[in-house]
Amino acid sequence: MSSLYFITGTDTGAGKTVLTVLLAAYLRQKKIRVAALKPLCSGGRDDAQEIFAALDGLLSLDEINPWHFRAAIAPALAAQREKKSVTQSEVTRHIRAVQKQFAVTLIEGAGGLMSPLGKDFDSRDLIVELEAAPIIVAQNKLGAVNHLLLTLEALPKNLRAAAKVVLMSPPKADAASQSNMELFGQFFPPEKIFPLSWFGNNFAPDVVLKKPSVQRTLGKILR
């Protein structure tokens, strides 16, 4: 098990927060001391609040999410509109300070891999600097394979080889939802692709974790 995982996605709304919350709850259930962070967000702090609830007060909301901006646009632009600036070094320092206190640290990005987070950096830059194990989340629907291949191509070769991919079922499946696993497995190791079901808009992690299939999948993602 790596000590630092970075949960990124092919796009906004891919299911990063759902996965981050489930992984945090799973590790806590296993009595592993885990931190989960969403360093930057814009357009509200709902994602960070879900992580806060999953950690049950282990970290404060401001420790989980130190930088947050009002406009529902890329964090870098949202910060500019508020005449604020966030640097990569600031974010990295915060992550490293928290990481020292925990056995495992989960970092959730904002938007897709290349979405601008702050002053001249994005999630890819953080993954590279932190040498984090990337977990890429995509909605399991038409277009997912193209988006995943582009996201993987954007990662350096060594991190691409370390990546895991999670296909999150959408609320309503389409024709591609049944074939994406097989198709994507022609381009990426099938043993590193993991499907997760749709759990509903207001799912309870402790209820979801009662399902043995979910427990097995989360364990494999972290292996």
CA 134 to chain centre: 8
Q: Which tokens belong to 83?
A: 């005449």
Nearest to 147 by CA among 184, 108, 185, 106: 184
- Structural domains of the chain, ranges and CATH numbers in brackets: 4-222 (3.40.50.300)
pLDDT tens-digit readout, 96-141:
999 999 999 999 999 999 999 999 999 999 999 999 999 999 999 9
> What digits encode the pLDDT tens for the residues 31-70?
999 999 999 999 999 999 999 999 999 999 999 999 999 9
Tell which residue, 194, 148, 192, 198, has the closest CA to residue 174. Answer: 198
Q: Is 160 exposed, middle or buried (0-12, 13-18, 19+ CB in 10 A)?
A: middle
**Quick check: pTM over 0.85?**
yes
Report strand pairing: 116-118 vs 121-122.
Answer: antiparallel
Point out the residues that are catalytic: 38
CA distance 4 to 134: 9
